[in-house]
A and B are shown apart, each in its own frame.
Chain A
Amino acid sequence: MNLTEIYIQEVTRRLPEKNRDDIALELRSTIEDMLPDDYNEHDVKEALEKLGNPAALASGYRDQPMHLIGPRYFDVYLSLLKMIIPIAAVIAVISMIAEYFISFGGEEAVMNAVLNMMGEGIWRIIEVGIHVFFWLTVVFVILERTDKGKEQHPLSASLKKWTPEDLKTVIYIPKKKAITKLEVFGYLMWTAIWATFYFYANHLLGIYKDGGEGLEFVMPALNQNVLLHYWPIVIVVIALEIGLALYKLLKGQWTKKVAIFNTIVELFATVVFIVIVSNPNLMNQESIAYMSNLFTTSTKQFEIWLIGGIIIIFVVSAAISIFDGFRKARIR
């Protein structure tokens, strides 16, 4: 067993091909220099001990860093990751929901479809997260190894050296006017939920009765044909709400523009809602009769009471949202 040769192999196998022979030759002669004329294994061990761990010695010879992403790029890498993952996740979920709507044939129970969507949504978010993480890391690892600048200072987001001028491009966000990502996700979730209810109202909205095994769907509350008559305008509302959510995510805080956008969306949605709800043919007459029977009121009275109540709730919540938006936008 020639320890010297094994040691040299342990060092050179970690080095690029083209340097191996030269470094091996130099190491061999150096180790022999360190040994006395008449040496034994103990002397060899002592000499190798001085040279230290072969991995450490090899890393000294290599120019490449022994880390994936160094201090120069780490900060930019992390902030890009934090920025891209939520956006990619939102896009993935939205496109998945859209796919579902396009391919939905109506033969599947809607509740099942919703549950499937939730499961698939979580899976898509994980998948997209892994993809973003992997590719961004690959890009930065390559950047780290090709960048010839030997400066160790962390780079700013524009990949340039930091100057005080950079502070001007940073948006200062007071806590009170910040829009959290949770808020945006909640908003998108709400859009997805009501859209589902709109398109499948005949399976979801209606009168349920406590049957033998859980709730039993007795009859739909609405006239699906009348309801679906409005689909183009409803699609516009959905598009506006998704647009608003993405805009909020991008801005990260309430500004005057966000508040105005919010107002437009709320007003538009309210008008559309009132128009749809006040259509006299919307309510399923059978279900109205069923309900008024239950509450012992006249059918007409029940209908007015129900629709009026819903409209008032909707208008009030829209007004609160509009007012709140402007209030937060005005905070300095």
Chain B
Amino acid sequence: MSTLLNSLMTELRRGTLTLAVLSQLRTPQYGYSLVQLLEDSGINIDQSTLYPLLRRLEKQELVTSSWETSESRPRKYYVLSEFGLDVFLQLKREWINNSKELYELLKGDEDKDESD
């Protein structure tokens, strides 16, 4: 039961991860600062998926990266590209619409559950 529930939850969360990451990259972030930003907002992210995800986003030209060497240790900063911003805004709209519809659907269910 719990493993099934876990895998279903992971599946549910998987698609939203890209959106969450894109939303935080309007300002340049390096890997660990991004993790902290997301965790502060209550989004628990598997780090072994996050770092490869950042590279994939870069390859898809949604983000650009640059090495910052002036600090105590070199850090790779990622920031949304113009194309990435465009895609992010569309994804965001889509997500909001979707979640509204789903909310209505689930709310209707809840009313029924209560009347039973």
Q: Give the Cβ gap from B26 to chain A, nearest Cβ, in Å.
A: 21
Within 8 Å CB of A30, what residues of B? 30-32, 51
Number of A-B contacts (CB under 8 A): 46
- Of the listed residues A26, A27, A51, A61, the one surrounded by the most CB atoms of chain B closer than 10 A to its CB is A26
Interface locus among B16-24, B42-50, B86-94, B97-105: B42-50
Select A27's contact among B30, B51, B59, B73, beta carbons within 8 Å.
B51
Q: Give the Cβ gap from A61 to chain B, nearest Cβ, in Å.
A: 5
Q: Give the Cβ gap from B47 to chain A, nearest Cβ, in Å.
A: 5
Whether a CB of chain A sits under 8 angstroms from the CB of B14 is no
Select A29's contact among B30, B48, B52, B59, beta carbons within 8 Å.
B30
On whether the beta carbons of B52 and A57 are closer than 8 Å, the reply is: yes
Total number of B residues with any Cβ neighbor in A under 8 Å:
18
A52–B47 CA distance with the chains assembled, in angstroms: 8
**Residues of chain B in range 28-78 having any CB-CB distance to chain A below 8 Å:** 30-33, 46-49, 51-53, 55, 59, 67, 73-76
Select B55's contact among A33, A51, A61, beta carbons within 8 Å.
A61
Whether a CB of chain B sits under 8 angstroms from the CB of A56 is yes
A61–B53 CA distance with the chains assembled, in angstroms: 8
Whether a CB of chain B sits under 8 angstroms from the CB of A32 is yes
Within 8 Å CB of A29, what residues of B? 30-31, 73-76
On whether the beta carbons of B74 and A60 are closer than 8 Å, the reply is: no
* Contacts A29-B73, A29-B75 given; does A61 touch B31 at CB 8 Å: no
Whether a CB of chain B sits under 8 angstroms from the CB of A153 is no
Select A32's contact among B52, B67, B73, B76, beta carbons within 8 Å.
B73
Whether a CB of chain B sits under 8 angstroms from the CB of A50 is yes
Q: Give the Cβ gap from B15 to chain A, nearest Cβ, in Å.
A: 14
Q: Mark A20-40, 1 if CB is under 8 A from B, else 0.
A: 000101110110111000000
On whether the beta carbons of A60 and B31 are closer than 8 Å, the reply is: no
On whether the beta carbons of B47 and A60 are closer than 8 Å, the reply is: no
* Chain B interface residues (CB < 8 Å from chain A): 30-33, 46-49, 51-53, 55, 59, 67, 73-76
Would you give 8 A-B contacts (Cβ < 8 Å), ordered by A?
A25-B67, A25-B76, A30-B32, A30-B51, A34-B32, A52-B47, A60-B48, A60-B52
* Chain A interface residues (CB < 8 Å from chain B): 23, 25-27, 29-30, 32-34, 50-53, 56-57, 60-61, 63
Starting from the known contacts A26-B51, A57-B52, 16 additional A-B residue pairs (CB-CB under 8 Å) come to A25-B67, A27-B51, A29-B30, A29-B75, A29-B76, A30-B32, A33-B30, A50-B47, A50-B48, A52-B46, A52-B47, A56-B48, A60-B48, A60-B49, A61-B55, A63-B59
